Amino acid sequence: MTTRRYMLQSTLRLSALLCLSLLLVSCVKVRLLTYPSEFTYLESDSVKGIMHEMALSLSRIDQLVQQSSDKPDSLRYQPDILAELQTVETLASSLSSSTSDKTAEGDARPVTNHLLIDEHIDDFIAQIMHARLLAEDTPPNYYGAGQLTGSCNACHRIR
């Protein structure tokens, strides 16, 4: 009798383990089945990490811009500011996905699971590129670089 009970318990455990394994595998594949092939799924942790890195770079840019305004030789800070702007542009571009597909209303179709990123990232990248162009001038103009933090705050004010 105990052998039969042991075999039944072993069979139940094995069945439960098999069901759990199948469930986990199917959950992983759900994303592939529920989103179109041109859709980019952005992991929440990845987005948070990228946003955090951008915030650190923008903080460094703000510090460098303030230091340059205190000194008559603003060219000294130009390479560092340009490097940070390039970092922010690279990070922002990693969140950007584009498509020429439009909705029935003529709006751009969402291409990631983050609708706010879809809506604003291209404008933010354009602002970064404009800030970089201004900072590359001689003498450099860091006004655009200073405005980038405000751009972040505009999107994140609702959070």
Counting the structural domains of the chain, the total is 2
**Based on the domain organization, do 20 and 56 belong to the same domain?**
no
**Based on the domain organization, do 28 and 77 belong to the same domain?**
no
Instruction: Tell me the pLDDT tens digit for each residue of 13-64.
Output: 878 777 677 776 665 555 555 655 666 677 778 888 988 999 999 999 999 9
Instruction: Tell me the pLDDT tens digit for each residue of 82-118.
Output: 999 999 999 998 887 654 555 566 665 557 767 777 7
**Burial of 141 (C-beta count, 10 Å sphere; 0-12/13-18/19+):** middle
In a domain, 39, yes or no: no
Q: Which two tokens stand for residue 2?
A: 């105990």
**Based on the domain organization, do 119 and 142 belong to the same domain?**
yes
C-alpha closest to that of 42 among 105, 111, 137, 145? 111
Q: Residue 136: its pLDDT value, please? A: 93
> pTM for the whole thing?
0.68
User: Which domain range does residue 81 map to?
Assistant: 44-156
